[in-house]
Amino acid sequence: MAYTSQFLQDRWLDVFTPDGEYNAFGTPYTLERFPALLAAAPRGQFIGNMPVVEIDGDAARGMQHFVFIDQQTHAMRIGWYNDEYVRTPAGWRIRRRSTTFMRKSGDFDSGRQHDPLAETE
């Protein structure tokens, strides 16, 4: 989260496996698209709790709650990440991450279906 908030693009990639995927707003993104996705994102601060992880050999699943605060408007997004981890020679890495948002209405969803990169590519 610190890498994302500080827009350290190359370091953000370090926490994923080479075949990593991040699913945001109903759209899956491969590592090749991560830098563009990060560049299109609003600036702000991520605050997250420690993930709850269940380990099964060299694989694991986890959930991590977060709050994102937009730097300019201070609007907040709250939700959680569902992660799939894998143990690599370099340590544990995220293979897949998906986002679930908590809505004021009490509903939960993965965001408004859109591709923030569609207009920039």
Instruction: Judge whether 120 lies within some domain.
Output: no
Q: Which domain holds residue 82?
A: 2-109
pLDDT given at position 86:
98
Instruction: Judge whether 53 lies within some domain.
Output: yes
Q: How far is CA 30 from the centre of its chain?
A: 12
Instruction: Judge whether 118 lies within some domain.
Output: no
Instruction: Judge whether 54 lies within some domain.
Output: yes
pLDDT given at position 113:
60
Number of domains composing the chain = 1
Instruction: Judge whether 39 lies within some domain.
Output: yes
Instruction: Judge whether 73 lies within some domain.
Output: yes
CA distance 105 to 121: 34
Residues contacting 18, CB < 8 A, separation 6+: 31
Instruction: Judge whether 114 lies within some domain.
Output: no
Cα separations in angstroms, 57 against 60, 85, 88? 8, 11, 12
Q: What is the CATH number of the domain that holds 71?
A: 3.10.450.50
pLDDT given at position 58:
98
pLDDT in tens, the chain (121 residues): 555 555 565 677 789 999 999 998 788 889 888 888 878 888 899 899 999 999 999 999 999 999 999 999 999 999 999 999 999 999 999 999 999 998 888 888 887 665 666 655 5
